[in-house]
Each structure stands twice: as structure tokens, then as C-alpha cells.
Chain A
Amino acid sequence: MIHFVLLISRQGKVRLTKWYSPYSQKERTKVIRELSGMILSRGPKLCNFVEWRGYKVVYKRYASLYFCMCIDQDDNELEVLEIIHHFVEILDRYFGSVCELDLIFNFHKAYYILDEILIAGELQESSKKTVARLIAAQDSLVEQAKEQASTISNMIAQATK
């Protein structure tokens, strides 16, 4: 099971956090501090895995962004590494060659996508197409709602002029 997902920048800034096991706010801060200290200092040729408090943290660096997932002792590390890559590929497809900036400003979208890939700490969908289709369907609905809202707010704006 995946206990949490962290996206940390090279500078140690948090870009996204998702907790599948209960952690209090205090613990979360501590975990992030501990792990970013551990992972950011690792050299490029080393394993993509670190042992941490009896768990294993699998991380991968994309440009200046580190994707980290914490898993149980008996999980398959290489598989989790590929789940990370799967996530990044879907992000890439969605944003059109994704960069860190996309995730900074659109972190909510990254959350929605993550929610379609992982659920309750397990891989939910391994087909990129299915994920893309679901996200697109959600987006189009949101888009419709937005158009409605904007026409209404336009009307109000004009009326109050």
C-alpha cells in the first residue's frame, strides 16, 4: 500500500502532498522535513529507494521535481517507480509536456488526476486512456458550469453598470 505521495522541488519546496494513511498536521511537517533532507541529498547514481522508519520511500527526479511515494516493506519498489512514471506520463499528456510550473499553478488538477490513478493507497487504473477520458469528462462539465457562471456574472456586471 502507498502511504503517501509527495512532490518536492529541488529547493525543498512542497508542490503536492497526498496522505493515504492518517498523519496529523504535525507529523506531516516532520515527515516532509525528514524525507526532503534525506532524498534531496542523495546523489544521482544511487538507488531510487530509501529505507525510512521501517517503510520504503521510492523517489524519482524529473527535472527539478522529486516524486516520492512511501510504501510497505514488502512492496515491489520497481513497480512503484513505474507507478510514479505512469503518473508523470499522464500529467504530461494532460498538460502537454508538463513542467514544474504547470504543477505549481494547477496543483488542484494534479490532485484530480492523482485521484483517478490512486485510490486508498492502491493503484486504481493502469490504463492511461481511461484516466484521460475520465478527466476530460470532468473538465468538460466544469467548463460548462464556468461558462454559465461567466454569462451570469457578465449580466450582473452589466446590470450594475
Chain B
Amino acid sequence: MEQLKTIGRELAMSSQGGFGQSKEFLDLIKSIGETRSKAEEDRIVLREIDTLKARLSSPNTPKFKLKEYLMRLIYVEMLGHDASFGYIHAVKMTHDESLSLKRTGYLAVTLFLNEDHDLIILIVNTIQKDLKSDNYLVVCAALNAVCRLINEETIPAVLPQVVELLGHQKEAVRKKAVMALHRFYQRSPGSVSHLISNFRKRLCDNDPGVMAASLCPLFDLIVIDVNSYKDLTVSFVNILKQVAERRLPKSYDYHQMPAPFIQIKLLKILSLLGNGDKKSSEQMYTILGDIIRKCDSDSNIGNAVLYECICCVSSIHPNPKLLESAADTISKFLKSDSHNLKYLGIDALGRLIRISPEIAEQHQLAVIDCLEDPDDTLKRKTFDLLYKMTKSSNVEVIVDRMIDYMISINDHHYKTEIASRCVELAEQFAPSNQWFIQTMNKVFEHAGDLVNPKVAHNLMRLIAEGFGEDDDTADSQLRSSAVESYLRIIGEPKLPSNFLQVICWVLGEYGTADGKYSASYITGKLCDATEAHSTDDTVKAYAVTALMKIYSFEIAAGRKVDMLPECQSLIEELLASSSTDLQQRAYELQAVICLDARAVENIMPMDANCEDIEIDKNLSFLDAYVQESLEKGAQPYIPEDVRSGLSNISNFRSQDHESSTHALRFEAYELPKPSVPSKVPSVLSSSAELVPITQPSYVAEVHQPASSALTVSSSGSSELKLRLEGVQKKWGRPAFSSTTPSPSSSDTFGSNNGTTQHESISSTKSKVHNVSYDSRKQQTEVSSEKKKLAASLFGGASKSDRKQSYSGQKVSKTNSHASDKSIIAEATSSSDTAAVRPTSQPPPDLLDLGEQTVTSSAPSVDPFKQLEGLLNLTQDTTNLSSSGVSMPDAPDLMSIYADMSSSSQSTTVAPPPNVTKAHLAKQPSKGSNVQEFLEKDALVRQVGVTPSGQNPNLFKDLLD
């Protein structure tokens, strides 16, 4: 035994060159490998940092030692610790003459420094020198660093040399020079704009590597400006043709595909060039068809090319034949067992349905399967697809699904996205206002902080405007239901501010409208809400205004106002609030309550928020006042542009209102009369105003009538009569209606709905709901539920009315098709899942034999085979080394190999035949590698990392 150890050690010593590091470094790596906690690792690394600090700063460290210290620095930084104290040494090492050290220096520098680091200025000089070197390897190392480190400021320093290197005799240098130039272009397009023609030149390079490299910058350039590169379409098509016909050197083949990476890049470029251009597209049809036909759909890379072809076909001017083969490929993807292919299939489907929407129907069930897949990635991709194919007939199902998913996830980034998508779809396709409000409530409740504040205003606007012109009962029903739901929700302890604002506004406006709830009940709820969210000033402002409205309505109706004690204390608190806005609102509330019914009715008319307020842009009502002032000797008004000599008002005017014939004066009249209050309480001006709206354009609009109204009141009439006619747009973002506030635009939503019949919609809606949700509970009828879901999504089976209108036969066809499929689905789902999907075993190289957590993949490893491998190997080793070194750990390397080749044949997702062959062919040669394994193993033993310890996988071949 002792003997064995020494032999192992000797072997290890002899192969020390293989790892090439000192014992100390190996020990470091080893000890970090053995740590069991992050804290332990950190301790070791910190100790190492101290050592390195001391060593690096000592003046007479030999250079080859320095090199190793740099490696250790890289290692330390890779583990997430700060190694900035050693950066300068890396920079110094790039100055070294010897390539070995220089290379290490460059490696360290490119890993350590970002392009905005101060030390870069110290390297530029070295890079300049190295770019001129006779040794092309030095030039390559320098170019690598150029790509990583040169920033906008330093580009001019190296640019001439890089351009010169485009003509270097070594193709490796030319290639890197092209990439460096591409990088410069990305950093600062202006600095290399005069050199762009070089990319075209390099496209004709003799070396395929350089040609391929030039495709990267060309792609970027074409994205920005397609038209200047249309002339290259023929060249790209030709290159692609040559690549597909295997004219490139064999070494570019990858898994028997001819230069697939180059093909993909070219396809990407072609899809840009052919987008919306019939003439260019026609040049591509033949080659695209050829590639799709020839592509090997069994290998991953073949599918990657196929997928890129579909992307290209769906982007260029459509060709029916190509679309058909693209659709075929998609169905192959979707039917595959590989999740990756399903994912790509869904993505490709999303691209293709833009051109031919009907192809989605044949894949209904596959899409539903993906939607219900436990894999989040696939699910999200499917939501993407659904989002693209939403229309008014399926919006309810899709949005409901999206919301369910949204509630279930924690990922903020995606939650925001899906919430805004729900809102967008609901706004665009909402079948009824009631549904819209319910949907919005859900979105707000669960992702209120994440959605755009505009959405809240849209919701208020919808509730205010209701269904349309003449359906008042429906409107009030809608409002009552909104009030009811909000009264239920308002008690929740945590609500997003956006949502609370909506709730306060609606309760204020409509809380008492239907007489179901008393004013004191609503006001009590509002006070509770402000108390619960006492830090949110905006919510408080909304709440106070709501209180004011409710009290005003009470007064106007002739009822006596009994202010609840909590309301009183709230108002008292706000009177002294540090926010002037809140103070003002509180004072206004106090003032309004003391007025008589008639005045209050004029200030706060009931349900008048939708009424148009006419804006007298000429301020003609002031004419008399102005006249009077002029007569008294006041200066006449001089417009601002005349005064300042600037005409900056003109653009302001044009964006403000369409009626540019009226001249709107922005400048206040020049009158320091004390009788006119300078500050205008805008809230008073109209009951409907939602004051704390942040959109500047909107605020400008609001303030106009406000000030005009106020001036009237202050100019003598004690009646407090406000002119509310004329203000048209009060909330909602411009997108909802058109941007110009014309009377008809405010009804956009209503008229949309006017075309569809509410009654029928709501009834079908409830049907769909019942169908899709109730049946889900019945686990036995998985397939029928899916079918129904499919029908509601794709408008197929049960909702056939749409389709029957043009082809009744087709419906029945798809019906039977769907049911056939569903039977299969049922059959598969009923049997054991483990048994159903042996074909979707992970590819053999993912097999992890040493893992304890292996569940389904474990059975595929035949224990006997493993044993066989063991036996074989021990025989081998005894043959090889007569001393009889037995390595208990090496065998599984061999057995895996033996195993892989057999298992990979049985799987359907097998690697292409050549790979299997290669493995088989490689096997005998592996035998001769035993020596290598032994060496590695022995060395490792000597180092002390034993595979039998924590991690037996360290030794496993990555490429099995």
C-alpha cells in the first residue's frame, strides 16, 4: 500500500507541468474546494489576499512568481472579492517583453478592468507598441485587450493601427481587427463612421473566419440603416448558398452541418434586408427553401438553423410555399419532446401568426400543454404568444390566465411586464366595462405598485363615463358595483397607493349616489383608509376631496351634515399639515360646508365630472373688466413674444389645442391690484378635477379654466358661479381617447362597446367562465377541459359561431381533429408520467451518476454495466502497469463512456449519428489514455482533493 502511494506521487510529480502551478496555489484551490460554508471560504480568501498583498509589494519578487500571483489574484476576484490592490501589477506585466508574461498581464487586465477604469490610460501605450509587433501572437493578445478596454476617449490612439491590421497577412489578426473595429463602432459610432467601407471589403476576405467576423458589424449597421445595404443582398444570398453547398473548408462543419453559425448570422441579416421589400425577398426564396429542406432536424444545431429560417421567412415579404414549410417545421418543434424545441416552436408560432393567423388553430392543444407546463420559461413564452394572438373573443380567458399567473410569481421584473400587458389587453379588447373594472381591481390589488399611474386614471375615467350616451341605468349599476367592491377592498391592510387613489375618488364621486350607503358610512371608511395609510399624502388629498364631495352632495340634497368625530380630527390635523396642498384642501372643505345649498350645488354639482366645461380662451368675460381698467388708465397688454422678441409661444400654442385660431394668452395681466388673489385654489374650480395628476400637459389644461373661473368670482360677483362648461378632458391618458379633446373623443370607449351587445357578451362570458374554471376541478376530464380552453382561446370547437359563418365544414374537421388529439392526450396523461416520457430523458451528457438527487435518470444507468466497466478497467490497468496500480475512481469514467454509447442510441433525442460514432471510435483510444487518467488522479490525490469526498463529479468527463 505504501508502495502504491509513492508510485502515485511520482506519477503526479512528473506531470506537475500539466497544472503548472506551485504547491501553494494548488493548496489554496484545494482548501477552497473543501470549504463547506461561504464564511469559511471568505476567511481563506481574505488570508490569501493578505499574503498576496505582502508578496506583490515586496520589491524583489521574481517575474515568474509574479505571474502566478496574478493568477491567484484572478482567482480571488473570480470568487467575488476585491483584488484592486493588484491591478497595477497586472498593468505592469503587460509591459513585459516575454510573451508568456505579457499574455498573463493582458488576461488579468481584461478580466480586472472595465473600460472606464483609470488605469487604462497606462496600458494604451503598451497596446500601441504591441499592435506593431512582428509576432502575430503579440498582436492578437493586444487586440483582445483592445476589444475589452479601449473606450471612447482612447479610440483615436489605436484606431490607425487597428485599421492597418485589417490588411495583416495572418487571418487571425485580420479577424480580431474587424471585431475591434466593430467594438469601436458600438462604443462610439461617430469615431469610425468613415471606416465602415472596410467591413464591406472584409466580407470578400479569402478566409471564412474573417468573412464571418465581418458579418457581426454589418448586421449592426444594417439594423440601423437597411437601405444603404440593399445592394449587398445578392452577395449575402450568394455566400449563404456557398455555405449551404459546403464550399467552406471542412473545419467549419459543426455536427455535420456546414458552418451553421455563419448560416445563422447570414439568415439574420437577410431577414432585415427582406423586411417589407418584395424585390429583395424574392432573391432569397430559393436558398431559404433549400436550407429548410436540407436541414437536419435531429441535431440541435440543425434546429437552430431551422428556427432562424422561420424567423427570416416571417420577417421578409411572405411567400406561401415557404410559409407552409415554416408551419410544418413549427409543428415538428411543438410535437417534440424536448422543451427547448417546444419553446422555440412557441416563439416561432408567435412570429408566424402575424402573417398567417390561421396556423395557430392546428396547434391549440400543444399551446395549452405548454401553458400548463411546470417549466416557467415555457409558460412565459406561451404567455407571450397568447398576448400576440389576443382578440376580443378570447381576451377574457387570456387575461384571467395571465392574472392568475401574475399572482403566483414573485419575480418583480416579470410581474411588472405581465401586469402592464394585462392592462393593455384589457383596455384594448375589454368586452364590458364591468369586466374591465374587475380585471383592473385584480391587477391593482396584486401589482398596483408596479403598473403605470396612468392606468389608474383610465380606470376612473371609465367609471365616470360609463357605457355610453343613453344607458343611464347600466352606468349607475356599474358605479354601484364599483362602489360596493371598493368598500369591500378598502378595509384591506395593504393596498397600493395608485389603487387607493382610485377608490377614494370613486367613493367620493359615487359613494352616496345610489342611496344604498349613508354618507357617514362612506366618510367613516375614507377616514379609516387615510389613517391606515397616514404616510401617503396623495391618498390623503384624494380622501379629503372625496369627503368634500360627499358633504357637498349631502348639503345640496338638503340633508344636515353630521361630521363624524374622526373626520373632524382628520381635517384638524390636515389644517396644520406640512403639505400646503393638504392644508388648502382642508380649508376648502371647511369653507364649502358652511355655504348654503344653492352655492354648494354650483360648486360641486352632482355627477358632473363628465360634463364638458367650455373654455373661453379669449377670456371674453373679462372684456368689461379690462375696458374698465384701461379707462382708469392701465397699460394695455403687450403679448410676451412682442415684449421679449421671442416667438417661443408658437410651438406651445400648437401643441395645446387644435383650435389655433383662438389666441391663448399665457401671460398674466400686468395688474398689481390687491383685490385679485394671486394664488388660485384650483380644487374649488370644479368638482370633477383630480388635482394631484402629475402629467404636466394635463395640469396645464386644468389650470386654465381654474384661473378663469376664479377671476370671475373675484371680479365682483358674489354668486360663486363657476363656469364648468368647456373643460373637456379631466383624466385618462391621451392614448385612451385621441389627444385632442373633441367632444366625440370622450366617448371612444363607449362607442366601442356600442357595436357589441352587452347582453350577449356578458352571457357568453359567464358561460366561458363556467366552462373553463368549473371543469378544471374535475380532474377526470382533463382533455375536455383542455379542449374547451383551446376553444375559448382559439375560437375553435365550442365557440364556433365565428367560423361557421364562413366555413362550417372546417369547424367539424378541427373538432374531430381536436378530439382525436385529446384522446391521445388522455391516454398519455393517464399512464404513469415516468413511463410516458422516457424519450425525453436528458441527453446523456447531462447524466450525473454521482448525484443522489437523480430521480428518473438513474434507472437508465445499468449497475451491471458499471461493474463491467470496473472489471474491464482493472484489467486494462494491470496490463498497462505491471506494478498493479488500481484506481478505484477512474473506472466510472470508462463505464460512463460505455454506458453513454448504448443509452444514447436508445433515446430519441440522440446526438447525431456521427457523434455516437465518434464516441465509439474514440473508445479504444480512451484505453490508451488510461495513463493520462492515472496521472491526473494521482496528482490530484497528491494535492489532496479526493473524488470520494464531497464532489465525485470533479473527475467526470464534461463531454460524455
Give me the interface of A with B, judged by CB distance under 8 Å: 9-11, 13-14, 16-18, 22-25, 28-29, 32, 44-51, 53-54, 60-65, 76-79, 81-83, 85-86, 88-89, 91-92, 96-102, 104-108, 111-112, 115, 119-120, 122-130, 134, 137-138, 141-142, 145-146, 149, 153
Contact = CB atoms under 8 A, between A and B. Distances in A.
Interface stretch (B525-533, B861-869, B878-886, B951-959): B951-959
A63 B179 contact: no
Nearest to B101: A145
Contacts of B29: 104-105
B182 interface: yes
A69 B414 CA distance: 20
B23 to A, nearest CB: 12
Contacts of B413: 53-54
Most buried by B among A13, A29, A76: A76
Given A47-B377, A120-B147, A10 B19 contact: no
Contacts of A45: 339, 837, 840, 842
Interface stretch (B249-257, B769-777, B790-798, B810-818): B249-257
B954 A100 contact: yes
Nearest to A139: B100
A22 B212 CA distance: 25
B576 interface: no
Interface in B923-960: 926, 929, 932, 936, 940, 945, 950-951, 953-960
Contacts of B77: 25
B300 A82 contact: yes
A30 to B, nearest CB: 10
B264 A79 contact: yes
Contact of B940 (A101, A112, A153): A101
B926 A25 contact: no
B453 interface: no
A134 B172 contact: yes
Given A97-B959, A119-B179, A130 B261 contact: no
A25 B209 CA distance: 34
A142 B414 CA distance: 49
B304 A112 contact: no
B340 A77 contact: yes
Interface residues on B, range: 35 or more
Contacts of A65: 953, 958
Nearest to A108: B71
A107 B71 CA distance: 9
Contacts of A137: 137
B344 A63 contact: no
A107 B958 contact: no
B71 A149 contact: no
6 contacts: A49-B343, A63-B956, A82-B255, A101-B945, A126-B212, A153-B62
Interface string B850-875: 11000011000000000000000000
A96 B15 CA distance: 14
B107 interface: yes
Contacts of B262: 126
Interface of B, secondary structure class, is helix
Interface string B101-133: 101100100110011100000000000000000
10 tightest CB-CB pairs across the interface, nearest first? Answer: A64-B953, A78-B304, A63-B956, A129-B251, A62-B958, A126-B261, A142-B100, A145-B100, A46-B375, A92-B959
A123 to B, nearest CB: 6
Given A104-B33, A129-B251, A149-B64, A46 B339 contact: yes
Contacts of A122: 179, 182, 213, 216
A134 B171 CA distance: 11
A14 B32 CA distance: 11
B251 A130 contact: yes
Contact of B848 (A63, A89, A115): A63
A13 B114 CA distance: 23
B690 to A, nearest CB: 33
B845 A62 contact: yes
B80 A32 contact: yes
A88 B209 contact: no
Contact of B954 (A64, A92, A128): A64
A82 B260 contact: yes
Contacts of A77: 340, 343-344
Contacts of A89: 959
Contacts of A153: 62, 64
B958 A92 contact: yes
B144 A145 contact: no
Given A54-B413, A76-B264, A124-B213, A145 B957 contact: no
Contacts of A53: 413
Contact of B175 (A88, A100, A104, A125): A125
Given A50-B377, A64-B848, A25 B80 contact: yes
B78 interface: yes
Contacts of B343: 47, 49, 77
B846 A120 contact: no
A10 B851 contact: yes
Nearest to B79: A14
Given A29-B80, A65-B958, A134-B140, A112 B340 contact: no
Given A14-B79, A22-B115, A100 B959 contact: no
B725 interface: no
Contacts of B755: none
B82 interface: yes
Nearest to A53: B413
B657 interface: no
Q: Most chain-B Cβ atoms within 10 A of its Cβ — which of A45, A50, A128?
A: A45
B760 interface: no
B285 interface: no
A101 B955 contact: yes
Interface string B369-403: 00000111110100000000000000000000000
A61 B951 CA distance: 15
B254 A86 contact: yes
Counting chain B CB atoms within 10 Å of each CB, the highest count among A28, A92, A126, A138 belongs to: A126
B183 interface: yes
Chain A CB within 10 Å — which of B107, B378, B959 has the most?
B959
Nearest to A132: B251
Nearest to B207: A130
Given A29-B80, A47-B375, A105-B26, A62 B264 contact: no
B846 A61 contact: yes
Given A88-B958, A104-B29, A115-B107, 14 more contacts: A47-B339, A51-B380, A62-B958, A79-B301, A79-B308, A85-B300, A97-B932, A102-B936, A105-B21, A107-B75, A108-B104, A127-B209, A145-B99, A153-B62
A114 B21 CA distance: 20
Contacts of A18: 111
B578 interface: no
Contact of A88 (B33, B182, B301, B959): B959
A137 to B, nearest CB: 6
B440 to A, nearest CB: 25
Given A46-B375, A92-B958, A97 B339 contact: no
A128 B259 CA distance: 11
A98 B957 contact: yes
B467 interface: no
A25 B932 CA distance: 38
A78 B26 contact: no
Nearest to A97: B957
User: Which of B26, B301, B950 counts the most A-chain CB atoms under 10 A from its CB?
Assistant: B301
Contacts of A16: 78
B230 interface: no
Contact of A99 (B21, B71, B213, B954): B954
Contacts of A10: 848, 851, 951, 953
A127 B251 contact: yes
Contacts of B110: 115
B794 to A, nearest CB: 23
A41 to B, nearest CB: 11
A120 B144 CA distance: 8
